[in-house]
Structure 1
Amino acid sequence: MNHFSKTLFGAALIAFTGFTVQAQDKNSGVIDYEVSQKLPPRGGDGGDEEGQVITINQHFFFSAGHGKLETERPNFGGRDRQGPPPGQGGEQGPPPGGAPPEGNGGPGQGGGRGGRFRGGFGMMGGGFVDLQNHKYLQTFTKPDDSTKTFFAEEDFRPAKDVKPGDKTKKIAGYNCKKATVTVRDETYTVWYTTELPFSYSPVNGLLPEPNGVVLGAESSNRSFTAKKVDFKPVPPEKVSLPGNAEKVSEEDLHNMRREAMQKFRDRQNRN
Protein backbone atom coordinates (compact mmCIF):
# COMPACT_ATOMS: atom_id res chain seq x y z
CA MET A 1 0.00 0.00 0.00
CA ASN A 2 1.55 3.30 -1.10
CA HIS A 3 1.61 6.46 0.99
CA PHE A 4 -1.37 8.04 -0.79
CA SER A 5 -3.52 4.92 -0.26
CA LYS A 6 -2.53 4.77 3.40
CA THR A 7 -3.54 8.41 3.80
CA LEU A 8 -6.95 7.78 2.22
CA PHE A 9 -7.47 4.67 4.33
CA GLY A 10 -6.52 6.56 7.49
CA ALA A 11 -8.90 9.41 6.67
CA ALA A 12 -11.73 6.97 5.96
CA LEU A 13 -11.08 5.15 9.22
CA ILE A 14 -11.15 8.39 11.21
CA ALA A 15 -14.37 9.46 9.50
CA PHE A 16 -15.99 6.07 10.16
CA THR A 17 -14.88 6.13 13.80
CA GLY A 18 -16.27 9.62 14.27
CA PHE A 19 -19.58 8.58 12.72
CA THR A 20 -19.79 5.53 14.97
CA VAL A 21 -19.13 7.59 18.10
CA GLN A 22 -21.74 10.12 17.02
CA ALA A 23 -24.29 7.36 16.43
CA GLN A 24 -23.52 5.80 19.80
CA ASP A 25 -23.93 9.17 21.51
CA LYS A 26 -27.48 9.43 20.17
CA ASN A 27 -28.50 6.42 22.24
CA SER A 28 -28.21 8.33 25.51
CA GLY A 29 -29.46 11.74 26.56
CA VAL A 30 -32.52 13.79 27.48
CA ILE A 31 -35.34 15.57 25.64
CA ASP A 32 -36.68 18.65 27.44
CA TYR A 33 -40.37 19.35 26.81
CA GLU A 34 -42.43 22.40 27.70
CA VAL A 35 -46.04 21.40 28.37
CA SER A 36 -49.07 23.68 28.62
CA GLN A 37 -52.48 22.64 29.93
CA LYS A 38 -55.73 24.59 30.04
CA LEU A 39 -57.46 24.06 33.39
CA PRO A 40 -61.18 23.29 33.27
CA PRO A 41 -63.51 25.62 35.22
CA ARG A 42 -64.06 24.39 38.76
CA GLY A 43 -67.60 23.11 39.16
CA GLY A 44 -68.66 25.06 36.10
CA ASP A 45 -69.03 28.18 38.23
CA GLY A 46 -66.67 30.34 36.19
CA GLY A 47 -64.34 30.79 39.15
CA ASP A 48 -61.02 32.54 39.29
CA GLU A 49 -59.29 29.77 37.31
CA GLU A 50 -61.56 29.97 34.29
CA GLY A 51 -59.35 29.67 31.23
CA GLN A 52 -56.11 29.55 33.25
CA VAL A 53 -53.18 27.85 31.51
CA ILE A 54 -50.50 26.04 33.50
CA THR A 55 -47.06 25.44 31.99
CA ILE A 56 -44.68 22.78 33.28
CA ASN A 57 -41.40 21.20 32.19
CA GLN A 58 -40.93 17.52 31.47
CA HIS A 59 -37.71 15.62 30.81
CA PHE A 60 -37.46 12.34 28.92
CA PHE A 61 -34.22 10.54 29.79
CA PHE A 62 -33.14 7.71 27.49
CA SER A 63 -30.24 5.27 27.52
CA ALA A 64 -29.56 1.88 25.91
CA GLY A 65 -33.14 1.09 25.00
CA HIS A 66 -34.76 2.37 28.20
CA GLY A 67 -36.36 5.66 29.12
CA LYS A 68 -38.05 7.62 31.87
CA LEU A 69 -40.30 10.69 31.78
CA GLU A 70 -40.04 13.07 34.73
CA THR A 71 -42.31 16.03 35.44
CA GLU A 72 -41.27 19.09 37.40
CA ARG A 73 -43.64 20.29 40.11
CA PRO A 74 -45.51 23.31 38.70
CA ASN A 75 -45.38 26.80 40.14
CA PHE A 76 -48.88 28.15 40.84
CA GLY A 77 -47.91 31.78 41.21
CA GLY A 78 -46.92 31.51 44.86
CA ARG A 79 -49.97 29.46 45.86
CA ASP A 80 -49.02 25.91 46.68
CA ARG A 81 -51.61 23.35 45.76
CA GLN A 82 -52.48 20.04 47.23
CA GLY A 83 -49.48 17.71 46.99
CA PRO A 84 -49.35 14.62 44.81
CA PRO A 85 -51.60 11.72 45.77
CA PRO A 86 -50.08 8.78 47.65
CA GLY A 87 -47.98 6.52 45.54
CA GLN A 88 -47.27 9.35 43.09
CA GLY A 89 -43.92 11.05 43.60
CA GLY A 90 -43.22 14.59 42.52
CA GLU A 91 -41.69 13.30 39.29
CA GLN A 92 -44.31 10.73 38.41
CA GLY A 93 -47.73 11.22 36.92
CA PRO A 94 -50.63 9.32 35.43
CA PRO A 95 -50.16 6.90 32.54
CA PRO A 96 -48.95 8.43 29.27
CA GLY A 97 -51.86 6.74 27.53
CA GLY A 98 -54.28 9.05 29.29
CA ALA A 99 -55.93 8.85 32.68
CA PRO A 100 -58.71 6.23 32.75
CA PRO A 101 -62.30 7.38 33.10
CA GLU A 102 -63.65 8.09 36.58
CA GLY A 103 -64.38 4.86 38.38
CA ASN A 104 -61.55 2.91 36.75
CA GLY A 105 -59.01 3.93 39.34
CA GLY A 106 -57.17 6.59 37.39
CA PRO A 107 -55.09 8.92 39.55
CA GLY A 108 -55.99 12.54 39.81
CA GLN A 109 -59.59 12.08 38.73
CA GLY A 110 -61.94 14.53 40.38
CA GLY A 111 -61.92 15.43 44.04
CA GLY A 112 -60.13 18.60 45.03
CA ARG A 113 -58.14 21.22 43.24
CA GLY A 114 -55.11 18.98 43.06
CA GLY A 115 -57.27 16.37 41.35
CA ARG A 116 -58.40 18.86 38.73
CA PHE A 117 -54.84 19.73 37.87
CA ARG A 118 -53.47 16.20 37.80
CA GLY A 119 -56.41 14.88 35.84
CA GLY A 120 -55.86 17.58 33.25
CA PHE A 121 -52.26 16.54 32.74
CA GLY A 122 -53.15 12.85 32.77
CA MET A 123 -52.19 12.33 29.16
CA MET A 124 -48.70 13.66 29.73
CA GLY A 125 -47.64 12.09 32.98
CA GLY A 126 -44.52 10.20 33.95
CA GLY A 127 -43.19 6.69 34.03
CA PHE A 128 -40.62 4.33 32.60
CA VAL A 129 -40.46 3.26 28.97
CA ASP A 130 -39.13 0.08 27.38
CA LEU A 131 -37.95 1.55 24.09
CA GLN A 132 -36.79 -1.80 22.72
CA ASN A 133 -40.11 -3.59 23.19
CA HIS A 134 -42.32 -0.49 22.77
CA LYS A 135 -43.97 -0.54 26.18
CA TYR A 136 -44.80 2.07 28.80
CA LEU A 137 -44.10 0.89 32.37
CA GLN A 138 -46.27 2.61 34.97
CA THR A 139 -45.18 2.31 38.61
CA PHE A 140 -46.94 2.62 41.95
CA THR A 141 -45.71 2.54 45.55
CA LYS A 142 -48.17 2.01 48.39
CA PRO A 143 -48.08 4.80 50.99
CA ASP A 144 -47.79 2.31 53.85
CA ASP A 145 -44.86 0.42 52.27
CA SER A 146 -42.45 2.64 50.36
CA THR A 147 -39.98 -0.24 49.94
CA LYS A 148 -42.19 -2.05 47.45
CA THR A 149 -42.83 -0.93 43.88
CA PHE A 150 -45.44 -2.37 41.52
CA PHE A 151 -45.52 -1.85 37.76
CA ALA A 152 -47.79 -2.59 34.82
CA GLU A 153 -47.00 -2.68 31.11
CA GLU A 154 -48.89 -0.81 28.41
CA ASP A 155 -48.06 -1.46 24.76
CA PHE A 156 -47.41 1.41 22.38
CA ARG A 157 -50.74 1.96 20.63
CA PRO A 158 -50.82 2.74 16.90
CA ALA A 159 -52.19 6.16 16.06
CA LYS A 160 -55.76 6.36 14.76
CA ASP A 161 -57.34 8.62 12.16
CA VAL A 162 -53.92 9.78 10.97
CA LYS A 163 -54.01 12.53 8.36
CA PRO A 164 -50.50 13.22 7.03
CA GLY A 165 -49.64 16.82 6.29
CA ASP A 166 -47.39 18.24 3.59
CA LYS A 167 -45.60 20.74 5.84
CA THR A 168 -42.33 20.31 7.72
CA LYS A 169 -40.47 22.37 10.28
CA LYS A 170 -37.52 22.11 12.64
CA ILE A 171 -38.01 21.55 16.35
CA ALA A 172 -35.00 21.40 18.68
CA GLY A 173 -32.82 21.17 15.57
CA TYR A 174 -34.61 18.21 13.97
CA ASN A 175 -36.66 18.04 10.79
CA CYS A 176 -40.24 17.19 11.72
CA LYS A 177 -43.19 16.01 9.67
CA LYS A 178 -46.73 17.16 10.33
CA ALA A 179 -49.80 14.99 10.90
CA THR A 180 -53.21 15.16 12.53
CA VAL A 181 -54.06 12.38 15.01
CA THR A 182 -57.05 11.64 17.25
CA VAL A 183 -56.54 10.19 20.74
CA ARG A 184 -59.52 9.58 23.04
CA ASP A 185 -61.76 11.90 21.00
CA GLU A 186 -59.16 14.68 21.17
CA THR A 187 -57.56 15.89 17.94
CA TYR A 188 -53.87 16.79 17.91
CA THR A 189 -51.63 18.49 15.39
CA VAL A 190 -48.45 16.44 15.69
CA TRP A 191 -44.86 17.18 14.70
CA TYR A 192 -42.50 14.20 14.73
CA THR A 193 -39.00 13.35 13.56
CA THR A 194 -37.49 10.12 12.23
CA GLU A 195 -33.92 11.32 12.82
CA LEU A 196 -33.51 9.76 16.27
CA PRO A 197 -32.60 6.07 16.77
CA PHE A 198 -35.72 5.11 18.76
CA SER A 199 -39.49 5.61 18.86
CA TYR A 200 -41.29 7.57 21.56
CA SER A 201 -44.23 9.83 22.31
CA PRO A 202 -45.17 11.39 25.67
CA VAL A 203 -48.76 10.50 24.75
CA ASN A 204 -49.55 6.90 23.86
CA GLY A 205 -51.32 6.57 20.53
CA LEU A 206 -50.00 9.85 19.16
CA LEU A 207 -47.11 8.63 16.99
CA PRO A 208 -48.05 8.68 13.26
CA GLU A 209 -45.14 6.41 12.25
CA PRO A 210 -43.69 3.53 14.31
CA ASN A 211 -40.09 4.76 13.85
CA GLY A 212 -40.54 8.37 14.96
CA VAL A 213 -40.27 10.59 18.02
CA VAL A 214 -42.94 13.20 18.73
CA LEU A 215 -41.29 16.56 19.41
CA GLY A 216 -44.41 18.69 19.33
CA ALA A 217 -48.20 18.37 19.53
CA GLU A 218 -51.16 20.63 20.19
CA SER A 219 -54.86 20.16 20.86
CA SER A 220 -57.54 22.58 22.02
CA ASN A 221 -56.68 21.82 25.68
CA ARG A 222 -52.97 21.02 25.84
CA SER A 223 -49.71 21.28 23.97
CA PHE A 224 -46.09 20.24 24.32
CA THR A 225 -42.93 21.17 22.48
CA ALA A 226 -39.39 19.84 22.71
CA LYS A 227 -37.07 22.72 23.59
CA LYS A 228 -33.82 20.77 23.53
CA VAL A 229 -32.39 17.35 22.70
CA ASP A 230 -29.18 16.86 24.66
CA PHE A 231 -27.04 13.79 24.01
CA LYS A 232 -25.10 12.93 27.14
CA PRO A 233 -24.41 9.91 29.37
CA VAL A 234 -27.42 8.79 31.43
CA PRO A 235 -26.80 6.26 34.24
CA PRO A 236 -28.67 2.96 33.62
CA GLU A 237 -30.29 3.16 37.07
CA LYS A 238 -31.86 6.48 36.07
CA VAL A 239 -34.05 4.80 33.46
CA SER A 240 -34.47 1.35 35.02
CA LEU A 241 -37.23 -0.02 37.23
CA PRO A 242 -36.33 -0.62 40.88
CA GLY A 243 -34.79 -4.03 41.36
CA ASN A 244 -37.65 -5.23 43.57
CA ALA A 245 -40.44 -4.03 41.25
CA GLU A 246 -43.28 -6.53 40.97
CA LYS A 247 -45.27 -6.84 37.76
CA VAL A 248 -49.06 -6.65 38.03
CA SER A 249 -51.90 -6.22 35.54
CA GLU A 250 -53.07 -2.76 34.48
CA GLU A 251 -56.36 -3.43 36.25
CA ASP A 252 -54.59 -4.32 39.51
CA LEU A 253 -52.47 -1.18 39.28
CA HIS A 254 -55.57 0.95 38.67
CA ASN A 255 -57.25 -0.64 41.70
CA MET A 256 -54.22 0.09 43.87
CA ARG A 257 -54.24 3.71 42.78
CA ARG A 258 -57.99 4.01 43.28
CA GLU A 259 -57.75 2.61 46.81
CA ALA A 260 -54.85 4.90 47.71
CA MET A 261 -56.63 7.91 46.20
CA GLN A 262 -59.79 7.19 48.17
CA LYS A 263 -57.80 7.02 51.41
CA PHE A 264 -56.08 10.26 50.43
CA ARG A 265 -59.43 11.98 49.83
CA ASP A 266 -60.82 10.69 53.11
CA ARG A 267 -57.85 12.16 54.98
CA GLN A 268 -58.27 15.49 53.16
CA ASN A 269 -61.98 15.61 54.02
CA ARG A 270 -61.25 14.92 57.70
CA ASN A 271 -58.81 17.80 57.72
Structure 2
Amino acid sequence: MKQLILAFFAAGFCATTLYGQTPNAGKITYEGMRQIDRSQMRMNGQEARPGAADAPEGMPEVMSFTQKLVFSGTMAKEERDRQPGGMFRRSPDGGGPGGDRPGDGANRPARSMRMTPPFEQQTFFDLANRQRIDVLTVKKDSVTSETYRSEKPMPAATDWASVDKTRKIAGYTCHKATATRRKETYTVWYTTDLPFTYSPVADLTPPKGVVLQIESDSESFKATNVSMEAVAETAVQPPKDAKNISSEEMEQMRRKGMADFRQKMMQAMPMQGRN
Protein backbone atom coordinates (compact mmCIF):
# COMPACT_ATOMS: atom_id res chain seq x y z
CA MET A 1 0.00 0.00 0.00
CA LYS A 2 2.80 2.41 0.90
CA GLN A 3 4.54 1.72 -2.40
CA LEU A 4 1.27 2.35 -4.27
CA ILE A 5 0.83 5.77 -2.61
CA LEU A 6 4.43 6.77 -3.37
CA ALA A 7 3.98 5.70 -6.98
CA PHE A 8 0.81 7.80 -7.23
CA PHE A 9 2.53 10.98 -6.01
CA ALA A 10 5.56 10.33 -8.18
CA ALA A 11 3.31 10.00 -11.22
CA GLY A 12 1.62 13.30 -10.41
CA PHE A 13 4.95 15.06 -9.98
CA CYS A 14 6.22 13.70 -13.30
CA ALA A 15 3.06 14.84 -15.10
CA THR A 16 3.44 18.35 -13.72
CA THR A 17 7.09 18.50 -14.74
CA LEU A 18 6.40 17.00 -18.15
CA TYR A 19 3.88 19.63 -19.18
CA GLY A 20 5.70 22.52 -17.53
CA GLN A 21 2.78 23.33 -15.24
CA THR A 22 2.50 23.90 -11.53
CA PRO A 23 -0.36 23.55 -9.01
CA ASN A 24 0.22 27.18 -7.95
CA ALA A 25 -1.09 28.61 -11.20
CA GLY A 26 -4.09 30.47 -12.47
CA LYS A 27 -5.52 33.75 -13.69
CA ILE A 28 -7.02 36.90 -12.18
CA THR A 29 -9.33 38.90 -14.46
CA TYR A 30 -9.87 42.61 -13.78
CA GLU A 31 -12.30 45.06 -15.36
CA GLY A 32 -10.55 48.41 -15.59
CA MET A 33 -11.55 52.00 -16.28
CA ARG A 34 -9.32 55.02 -16.72
CA GLN A 35 -10.03 58.63 -17.62
CA ILE A 36 -8.12 59.77 -20.67
CA ASP A 37 -5.45 62.35 -19.90
CA ARG A 38 -6.26 65.29 -22.19
CA SER A 39 -3.04 67.04 -21.26
CA GLN A 40 -1.20 64.43 -23.35
CA MET A 41 -3.27 65.17 -26.48
CA ARG A 42 -2.59 68.19 -28.68
CA MET A 43 -4.41 69.60 -31.72
CA ASN A 44 -2.73 72.49 -33.52
CA GLY A 45 -0.54 72.97 -30.44
CA GLN A 46 -3.53 73.20 -28.09
CA GLU A 47 -5.05 70.73 -25.64
CA ALA A 48 -7.70 68.64 -27.42
CA ARG A 49 -10.94 68.87 -25.43
CA PRO A 50 -14.20 67.00 -26.12
CA GLY A 51 -16.79 69.29 -27.74
CA ALA A 52 -14.22 71.74 -29.08
CA ALA A 53 -14.63 72.77 -32.73
CA ASP A 54 -11.43 71.05 -33.80
CA ALA A 55 -11.78 67.94 -31.59
CA PRO A 56 -11.67 64.55 -33.34
CA GLU A 57 -15.09 62.92 -33.79
CA GLY A 58 -15.99 60.35 -31.15
CA MET A 59 -13.29 61.45 -28.72
CA PRO A 60 -14.00 59.34 -25.59
CA GLU A 61 -14.02 60.54 -21.99
CA VAL A 62 -12.86 57.24 -20.46
CA MET A 63 -11.17 54.05 -21.57
CA SER A 64 -12.53 50.67 -20.45
CA PHE A 65 -10.53 47.47 -20.73
CA THR A 66 -9.96 44.00 -19.34
CA GLN A 67 -6.64 43.23 -17.67
CA LYS A 68 -5.45 39.80 -16.54
CA LEU A 69 -2.66 38.51 -14.36
CA VAL A 70 -1.59 35.03 -15.47
CA PHE A 71 0.65 33.30 -12.93
CA SER A 72 2.51 30.01 -12.72
CA GLY A 73 4.90 29.11 -9.91
CA THR A 74 7.05 32.12 -9.10
CA MET A 75 6.43 34.01 -12.37
CA ALA A 76 3.50 36.02 -13.72
CA LYS A 77 2.53 38.13 -16.72
CA GLU A 78 0.03 40.95 -17.27
CA GLU A 79 -2.26 40.77 -20.30
CA ARG A 80 -4.76 43.27 -21.70
CA ASP A 81 -7.67 42.73 -24.04
CA ARG A 82 -6.28 45.28 -26.48
CA GLN A 83 -3.12 47.24 -27.12
CA PRO A 84 -3.34 51.02 -26.70
CA GLY A 85 -4.14 52.60 -30.01
CA GLY A 86 -6.55 54.92 -31.72
CA MET A 87 -9.66 54.37 -33.83
CA PHE A 88 -11.58 57.03 -35.73
CA ARG A 89 -14.01 57.38 -38.61
CA ARG A 90 -12.75 58.68 -41.91
CA SER A 91 -14.39 59.18 -45.28
CA PRO A 92 -13.19 57.14 -48.30
CA ASP A 93 -11.56 60.26 -49.83
CA GLY A 94 -9.81 61.33 -46.63
CA GLY A 95 -12.23 64.08 -45.64
CA GLY A 96 -14.32 64.25 -42.53
CA PRO A 97 -16.81 61.59 -41.44
CA GLY A 98 -18.99 60.66 -44.42
CA GLY A 99 -17.33 63.45 -46.39
CA ASP A 100 -17.37 67.10 -45.30
CA ARG A 101 -16.82 68.69 -48.69
CA PRO A 102 -18.60 68.28 -52.04
CA GLY A 103 -17.01 65.55 -54.07
CA ASP A 104 -15.08 64.05 -51.15
CA GLY A 105 -17.27 61.00 -50.71
CA ALA A 106 -20.26 62.66 -49.04
CA ASN A 107 -22.58 60.00 -50.40
CA ARG A 108 -20.34 57.10 -49.40
CA PRO A 109 -20.17 55.57 -45.92
CA ALA A 110 -17.31 56.49 -43.63
CA ARG A 111 -14.88 53.77 -42.62
CA SER A 112 -13.08 53.12 -39.36
CA MET A 113 -9.33 53.20 -39.15
CA ARG A 114 -7.04 52.00 -36.36
CA MET A 115 -3.52 53.12 -35.67
CA THR A 116 -1.24 51.16 -33.34
CA PRO A 117 1.95 52.34 -31.62
CA PRO A 118 5.30 51.36 -33.15
CA PHE A 119 6.09 49.12 -30.19
CA GLU A 120 4.60 46.43 -27.98
CA GLN A 121 4.85 46.51 -24.19
CA GLN A 122 4.71 43.50 -21.89
CA THR A 123 5.05 43.25 -18.13
CA PHE A 124 6.29 40.17 -16.27
CA PHE A 125 6.83 39.57 -12.55
CA ASP A 126 9.33 37.55 -10.57
CA LEU A 127 6.96 36.94 -7.67
CA ALA A 128 9.54 35.23 -5.44
CA ASN A 129 11.92 38.21 -5.56
CA ARG A 130 9.24 40.89 -6.02
CA GLN A 131 10.80 42.12 -9.25
CA ARG A 132 8.98 43.78 -12.16
CA ILE A 133 10.32 42.93 -15.63
CA ASP A 134 9.27 45.29 -18.44
CA VAL A 135 9.72 44.16 -22.04
CA LEU A 136 9.57 46.54 -25.01
CA THR A 137 9.53 45.28 -28.60
CA VAL A 138 10.26 48.13 -31.03
CA LYS A 139 9.27 47.82 -34.68
CA LYS A 140 12.09 48.85 -36.99
CA ASP A 141 10.10 48.19 -40.16
CA SER A 142 7.33 45.85 -41.33
CA VAL A 143 9.43 42.71 -40.78
CA THR A 144 12.14 43.45 -38.22
CA SER A 145 12.03 44.46 -34.56
CA GLU A 146 14.27 44.66 -31.49
CA THR A 147 13.31 43.54 -27.98
CA TYR A 148 14.56 45.13 -24.75
CA ARG A 149 14.00 44.35 -21.07
CA SER A 150 14.54 46.18 -17.80
CA GLU A 151 14.12 45.05 -14.21
CA LYS A 152 13.24 46.94 -11.05
CA PRO A 153 11.73 46.15 -7.66
CA MET A 154 7.95 46.19 -7.39
CA PRO A 155 7.13 49.70 -6.14
CA ALA A 156 5.25 49.94 -2.86
CA ALA A 157 2.88 52.60 -1.57
CA THR A 158 4.68 54.97 0.80
CA ASP A 159 1.64 55.98 2.85
CA TRP A 160 -0.25 52.70 3.05
CA ALA A 161 -2.93 52.87 5.79
CA SER A 162 -4.98 49.82 6.78
CA VAL A 163 -8.65 50.16 7.67
CA ASP A 164 -10.52 47.72 9.92
CA LYS A 165 -13.03 46.59 7.27
CA THR A 166 -13.38 43.48 5.12
CA ARG A 167 -15.50 42.38 2.16
CA LYS A 168 -15.70 39.46 -0.27
CA ILE A 169 -14.43 40.01 -3.79
CA ALA A 170 -14.32 37.19 -6.36
CA GLY A 171 -14.77 34.73 -3.51
CA TYR A 172 -11.83 36.01 -1.41
CA THR A 173 -11.90 37.89 1.89
CA CYS A 174 -10.32 41.30 1.29
CA HIS A 175 -9.02 43.92 3.72
CA LYS A 176 -9.43 47.66 3.16
CA ALA A 177 -6.63 50.20 2.93
CA THR A 178 -6.03 53.68 1.58
CA ALA A 179 -2.98 55.08 -0.20
CA THR A 180 -1.94 58.13 -2.21
CA ARG A 181 -0.55 58.20 -5.73
CA ARG A 182 0.25 61.42 -7.57
CA LYS A 183 -1.66 63.42 -4.95
CA GLU A 184 -4.77 61.30 -5.51
CA THR A 185 -6.34 59.11 -2.81
CA TYR A 186 -7.05 55.46 -3.67
CA THR A 187 -9.27 52.99 -1.86
CA VAL A 188 -7.72 49.51 -1.95
CA TRP A 189 -9.12 46.04 -1.18
CA TYR A 190 -6.55 43.26 -0.98
CA THR A 191 -6.46 39.60 0.05
CA THR A 192 -3.72 37.66 1.80
CA ASP A 193 -5.23 34.31 0.80
CA LEU A 194 -3.17 34.08 -2.40
CA PRO A 195 0.52 33.07 -2.13
CA PHE A 196 2.11 36.19 -3.66
CA THR A 197 1.97 40.01 -3.73
CA TYR A 198 0.59 42.07 -6.64
CA SER A 199 -1.41 45.17 -7.57
CA PRO A 200 -2.84 46.15 -10.99
CA VAL A 201 -1.66 49.70 -10.17
CA ALA A 202 2.07 49.16 -9.80
CA ASP A 203 2.78 52.14 -7.53
CA LEU A 204 0.23 50.86 -5.01
CA THR A 205 1.55 47.37 -4.29
CA PRO A 206 0.68 46.36 -0.71
CA PRO A 207 3.29 45.21 1.82
CA LYS A 208 1.74 41.76 1.45
CA GLY A 209 -1.21 40.43 -0.51
CA VAL A 210 -2.99 40.72 -3.85
CA VAL A 211 -5.15 43.75 -4.68
CA LEU A 212 -8.54 42.65 -6.03
CA GLN A 213 -10.16 46.09 -6.15
CA ILE A 214 -8.73 49.58 -6.30
CA GLU A 215 -10.32 52.88 -7.23
CA SER A 216 -9.85 56.63 -7.31
CA ASP A 217 -11.57 59.52 -9.09
CA SER A 218 -9.60 58.82 -12.28
CA GLU A 219 -9.26 55.02 -12.52
CA SER A 220 -10.48 51.73 -11.11
CA PHE A 221 -9.79 47.99 -11.26
CA LYS A 222 -12.02 45.21 -9.93
CA ALA A 223 -11.34 41.48 -10.05
CA THR A 224 -14.31 39.73 -11.62
CA ASN A 225 -12.82 36.25 -11.49
CA VAL A 226 -9.95 34.40 -9.83
CA SER A 227 -9.42 30.94 -11.30
CA MET A 228 -6.84 28.38 -10.24
CA GLU A 229 -5.98 26.49 -13.41
CA ALA A 230 -3.06 24.90 -15.21
CA VAL A 231 -0.72 27.43 -16.85
CA ALA A 232 2.45 26.45 -18.67
CA GLU A 233 5.49 28.03 -17.00
CA THR A 234 6.82 29.04 -20.43
CA ALA A 235 3.73 31.24 -20.94
CA VAL A 236 4.81 33.65 -18.20
CA GLN A 237 8.55 33.80 -18.91
CA PRO A 238 10.02 36.94 -20.53
CA PRO A 239 11.82 36.43 -23.87
CA LYS A 240 15.37 35.18 -23.42
CA ASP A 241 16.79 37.10 -26.38
CA ALA A 242 15.79 40.55 -25.04
CA LYS A 243 18.58 43.09 -24.61
CA ASN A 244 19.04 44.36 -21.04
CA ILE A 245 18.78 48.14 -20.61
CA SER A 246 18.06 50.43 -17.67
CA SER A 247 14.54 51.46 -16.67
CA GLU A 248 15.43 55.06 -17.55
CA GLU A 249 16.52 54.10 -21.07
CA MET A 250 13.33 52.12 -21.62
CA GLU A 251 11.17 54.99 -20.39
CA GLN A 252 12.88 57.39 -22.80
CA MET A 253 12.28 54.99 -25.70
CA ARG A 254 8.64 54.55 -24.71
CA ARG A 255 7.99 58.28 -24.30
CA LYS A 256 9.54 59.11 -27.66
CA GLY A 257 7.60 56.35 -29.38
CA MET A 258 4.30 57.47 -27.84
CA ALA A 259 4.95 61.13 -28.68
CA ASP A 260 5.61 60.23 -32.33
CA PHE A 261 2.53 57.98 -32.37
CA ARG A 262 0.22 60.67 -30.91
CA GLN A 263 1.46 63.20 -33.45
CA LYS A 264 0.75 60.85 -36.37
CA MET A 265 -2.67 59.95 -34.95
CA MET A 266 -3.67 63.60 -34.51
CA GLN A 267 -2.56 64.38 -38.07
CA ALA A 268 -4.58 61.47 -39.46
CA MET A 269 -7.77 62.18 -37.49
CA PRO A 270 -10.60 64.06 -39.25
CA MET A 271 -11.62 67.40 -37.73
CA GLN A 272 -15.15 68.39 -36.87
CA GLY A 273 -16.37 71.44 -38.74
CA ARG A 274 -13.44 71.45 -41.18
CA ASN A 275 -14.24 73.12 -44.52
Does the CA-based 8 Å contact 2:139-2:146 persist in structure 1?
no
Partner of residue 68, structure 2: 59
Q: By how many angstroms is 1:73 displaced?
A: 1.9
Q: In the superposition, relative to structure 1, how do residues 55 and 66 fare at CA in structure 2: closer, same or farther (>3 Å)? A: same
Partner residue in 1 for 2:174: 176
Q: Output the CA distance in 2 between the equivalents of 1:76 and 1:267.
A: 10
Q: For residue 83 of structure 1, what is the aligned residue in structure 2? A: 115
- Conserved in 2, the CA contact under 8 Å of 1:161 and 1:181? yes
CA distance in 2, matches of 1:211, 1:218: 19
Rg (Cα) greater in structure: 2
Flag the structure with higher helix content: 1
Q: TM-score, normalised by structure 2?
A: 0.68
User: Cα distance, 1:240 vs. partner?
Assistant: 0.6
Number of the residue aligned with 2:109: none
Moved more, 214-223 or 253-262: 253-262
Instruction: Please say if residues 148 and 244 of structure 1, whose CA atoms lie closer than 8 Å, have aligned partners that are also in contact.
Output: no
Judge conservation of contact 1:136–1:154 (CA < 8 Å) in 2. Answer: yes
SS in 2 for 1:61: strand
Displacement of 1:264: 3.6
Deviation of 1:269 (Å): 6.6
Cα distance change on mapping 1:132 and 1:85 into 2, 3 Å: same
TM-score, scaled to structure 1: 0.69
**Candidates 133, 137, 160, aligned match of 1:137:** 133
Equivalent residue for 1:237, pick from 234, 237, 257: 234
The alpha carbon displacement at 1:157 in A equals: 1.9
- Report how far residue 136 of structure 1 moved: 1.2
Q: Which letter maps to 1:33?
A: Y
Whole-angstrom CA distance in 2 between matches of 1:262 and 1:50: 18
Matched positions, count:
215
Q: Counterpart of 1:38?
A: 35
Deviation at 1:32, TM superposition (A): 0.3
Gaps of 5+ in 2: 17-21, 42-46, 52-56, 90-111, 269-275
Relative to 1, partners in 2 of residues 1:83 and 1:137: Cα closer, same or farther, differing over 3 Å? Answer: farther
- C-alpha separation in 1, matches of 2:266 and 2:147: 27
Query: Which residue of 2 is the match for residue 128 of structure 1?
Result: 124
Cα distance in 2 for residues equivalent to 1:239 and 1:158: 22
Give the Cα–Cα distance (whole angstroms) in 2 for the partners of residues 267 and 212 of structure 1.
41
State the AA in 2 paired with 1:67: A
197-206 or 51-60: bigger deviation: 51-60
CA contact (8 A) 2:169 2:223 kept: yes
CA distance in 2: counterparts of 1:81 and 1:186, whole angstroms = 35
Alpha-carbon distance change, 262 to 51 in structure 1, aligned in 2, over 3 angstroms: closer
Structure 1 residue ranges without an equivalent (≥5)? 1-5, 93-125
> What is the alpha-carbon distance in structure 1 between the residues aligned to residue 113 and residue 185 of structure 2?
29
Q: Please name the residue that 2:217 is paired with.
A: 220
Matched, 1:149 2:134: no
Name the residue aligned to 1:203.
201
Q: CA deviation at 1:46?
A: 4.4
* 3-state SS in 2 of match to 1:178: strand
Superposition map of 1:18-37 within 5 A: 25=23, 27-37=24-34
1:145-204 CA distance string (max 9 Å, x none): 745310111211221222211110011100000000112222110000000011111112
RMSD of equivalent CA atoms: 3.2
Q: Distance in 1 between matches of 2:48 and 2:256?
A: 27
More displaced, 235-244 or 147-156?
Answer: 147-156
Instruction: For residues 21-47 of structure 1, give each alpha carbon's deviation from its aligned partner in whole angstroms, at most 9, with x where no partner exists.
Output: 9xx63x101000000122355736442
Partner of 1:252: 249
Counterpart in the other structure of 1:69:
78
Provide the rounded CA distance (Å) in 2 between the counterparts of 1:81 and 1:192. Answer: 40
Distance change >3 Å, CA 51–CA 234, structure 1 → 2: same
